[in-house]
Amino acid sequence: MTNTFNRLTTIAALDIGSSKVCCIIAKISRDKKVSIAGYGYKASKGIKNGVITDINQATFAVCNAIEDAEQMANERINRIIVNISGDKIESVIKNALIQINKNRPITEADINKVVDKGISKVNVGNNELVHCIPTKFRVNNGEETKDPRNIFSETLSVDILLGLVPEINYLNLATVIENSHLEIAGKAFSAYASSLSCLVDDEKKIGATLIDIGGGTTSIATFQNDYPVYFDSIGVGGNNITNDIAWGLTTSFTHAEKLKNLHGCAFLTTQDQEETLNIYPVGEEDDSSIRQVPKSDLINIITPRVEEIFELINKKLDEIGLKDVSSHRVVLTGGTSQLPGIREIASMVLDKQVRLGRPRNIVNLPDTLCNPSFATALGLISFALNYTEKKPAKIISKSTSSNGFFSGIFGWVKQNF
């Protein structure tokens, strides 16, 4: 990507999901303003539950989305920031502590030293390291601080959040990118990227979990005190709702998707008992074969699956001690978050304040992109622009092009802002 200081810098983001593949090309000015130069999106092929299942079909979908974005932007790209999804992602907290000379305040060198000590412990095994984020600094064995510089203390410790995905899953994704004649300049979990485009600063500080409900998976990213502290996902999403409709009403998956999008709702009302819907049986194209069913039949299929999604999320929140924290907020995004009534079901099951999240941290977006479906792709732009992660040298050496790109982007940002 171009990193010359006398003209706009170009950043390209690629969101590979189970329902769609989306590419966005953005220009970054000297004053850090983002303008969208081009975008393209196509239906996914060869991708199931966020995992590559057919290399050729997935490559075809990626190439088509990128080609549309390039034509709109009138620019060729060769490096991209890509999302990582699937139901096998996980997060782990590593910590480190160093002694400090109590006769002087903590310096930037001390901070670098404790972070370096923390990441030196990283052992990813058969996983790909996606994130390595210092999240909490503590002085004097317990007092938490966001910025420990200039504080007198005898000790300094740090918690480092690691985001991991099975290496085999990442290798398949990397193969698709390579077959598309691109290099991976950087990577981020889908929910983390979405949180960067949808959450407001106060939510990150007070505590919030972003739930990105995609086609094949539902991903979560939890924030506390301005930092991400937890990543996870479940293998259930909007496609499961579509499948339930197809099986329950014995119709095609295409028609089931239309029914979900046009008439779907997450909870039942009295009016739904009276309204009827036309159902095309599987394999029948003649209008004479249409049968009518109450709309309530459709909603009674959708509701249990939606409740299941949030019950599974509730278990995740319980594991990290946030299930009963009333001040912890929830933000829904992703394509399936647009299902009417889903916010109310989430609030009821999770017993928390819930809002719907749309991309908001990039101004002057084209109307098409002002949609939860594009939260991840737009968040990847913000991720690249504000990149500060520091990874172990032994892991960086496996991906020198990625480290070089982000060193260039981060250095450009520091020099120009």
CA separation for the pair 304, 295 (Å, rounded)? 15
**Contact by Cβ (8 Å): 372, 337:** yes
Helix (H, G, I), strand (E, B) or coil at 194: helix
Q: Report residue 105: phi and psi, to 5°.
A: -75, 160
Q: What is the assigned CATH class of domain 201-359?
A: alpha beta
Q: With a cut of 70, which residues of the chain have pLDDT below it? A: 1-8, 141, 284-288, 393-417
Q: What is the pLDDT of residues 125-145, one digit of tens each?
A: 899 999 999 988 999 867 788
DSSP assignment string, 207-254: -EEEEEE-SS-EEEEEEETTEEEEEEEES--HHHHHHHHHHHTTB-HH
The answer to whether the 90-166 and 201-359 domains have the same CATH topology is no
pLDDT in the model for residue 118: 86
pTM: 0.89
Query: Domain limits of the chain?
Result: 90-166, 201-359
Amino acid identity of residue 70, one-letter, is E
CA separation for the pair 23, 11 (Å, rounded)? 11
pLDDT in the model for residue 348: 95
**Contact by Cβ (8 Å): 165, 84:** yes
Q: Burial of 302 by CB count in 10 Å (0-12 exposed, 13-18 middle, 19+ buried)?
A: buried
On whether the 90-166 domain is CATH 3.40.50.261, my answer is no
